[in-house]
Amino acid sequence: MKYTLGFSPCPNDTFIFDALVNNKIDTEGIEFDVVLEDVQTLNQWAIEGKLDFSKISYGVLPVITNEYAVLESGGALGKGVGPLLITTANTFNTKEVKDMCVAIPGKNTTAHLLFSFAYPQVKEKRFTVFNEIEDAILNGTVDAGVIIHENRFTYQLKGLQKIQDLGEYWEQTINAPIPLGGIVGKRSIDKKMLVKVNNLIRKSLEYSFQQYPSISDYIKLNAQEMEESVMRQHIDLYVNNYSLQLGEEGRKAVEKLLDVYENITHSNPINKDQIFVL
């Protein structure tokens, strides 16, 4: 049996899926056609129903629940892992956030939802590929930007400064870990198979944890010019016990994020009993 599988080239994702897609564990007869893409592309593909299994931002989950169910393993959810709202010192001293033009890493991202939760009054947004946001701030295309992934470790080196840790704001306000990204599988696939793939993802991650802090060639290849120390920071921040299994606390956090989405968009309630595979 062969399925399509999409995730990002970021170290946290390649760390999770390395053993699965490179046959370092027994895949029990299941094969995967793997595509590595940025999260906004994967979100759009999920809306289109393009892949069988995919990493997504939890921000896009509300619009794909009819097509996909959330797997227990492989996601990014935790504490102290949220996106940051950053700007230049000059802008920070002269403008209030509500009057800023803000770059967001994709419309259907968790970062957008967390930003909208913290700053619902901001009207001018520019949806921008995540690794182009810092340059957009520096060249004056936008006043501020929401950064994710490895950029949160390096933005200060470019003279940028933090306005707000959006994850910290979520944690303090909602009192729950931050649901950033999850793994989804198509509902048209037999539930037993969804559970089987979920278990393989967990085994793949367990394998990587056993090798850590060693960084595999697969992770290095896809991280391009990133320093190994930054790769480890990335893995340490985004991969944890919630990545092995959401559990009750993780599922409740995802449900709270969906509640926030409903409140912000004034949309119809989502049937949360049917969101998860397990």
> Could you read off the pLDDT of 170-205 as tens digits, one per residue?
999 988 899 989 999 999 999 999 999 999 999 999
Query: For residue 152, what pLDDT is reported?
Result: 80
pLDDT mean across residues, the chain: 93
Query: For residue 74, what pLDDT is reported?
Result: 98
> Could you read off the pLDDT of 208-236 as tens digits, one per residue?
999 999 999 999 999 977 899 989 988 99
Q: What is the mean pLDDT of residues 154-176?
A: 93
Query: For residue 102, what pLDDT is reported?
Result: 98
The two three-digit tokens of residue 27, written as one number: 């895949």
Q: Does domain 84-174 have CATH number 3.20.20.110?
A: no
Query: For residue 24, what pLDDT is reported?
Result: 98
d(CA 159, CA 202): 39
Query: For residue 173, what pLDDT is reported?
Result: 92
CATH 3.40.190.10 domain span(s) along the chain: 2-76+179-274, 84-174
Q: 273 exposed, middle or buried (CB, 10 Å; 0-12, 13-18, 19+)?
A: exposed
149 pLDDT more than 80: no
pTM of the model: 0.85
d(CA 210, CA 101): 44
Q: Which of 112, 149, 234, 266 is catalytic?
A: 149
> Could you read off the pLDDT of 90-102 as tens digits, one per residue?
888 888 999 999 9
How, if at all, do strands 160-165 and 68-70 pair? unpaired
Q: Which of 37-41, 160-164, 193-197, 251-255 has the lowest mean pLDDT?
A: 37-41
Categorise residue 270: left if φ over 0, alpha if ψ from -120 to 50, beta otherwise: beta
CATH fold of 2-76+179-274:
D-Maltodextrin-Binding Protein; domain 2 (3.40.190)
Query: For residue 19, what pLDDT is reported?
Result: 98
Q: What is the dihedral of CA 107, 132, 151, 4, to 10 degrees?
A: 60
> Could you read off the pLDDT of 8-56 as tens digits, one per residue?
999 999 999 999 999 999 999 999 999 999 888 999 999 999 999 999 9
Query: For residue 245, what pLDDT is reported?
Result: 96
- The distance of Cα 155 from the centroid of its chain, to the nearest Å, equals 19
129 pLDDT more than 90: no
Percent of the chain with pLDDT over 70: 100
- Catalytic annotation on 234? no
153 pLDDT more than 90: no
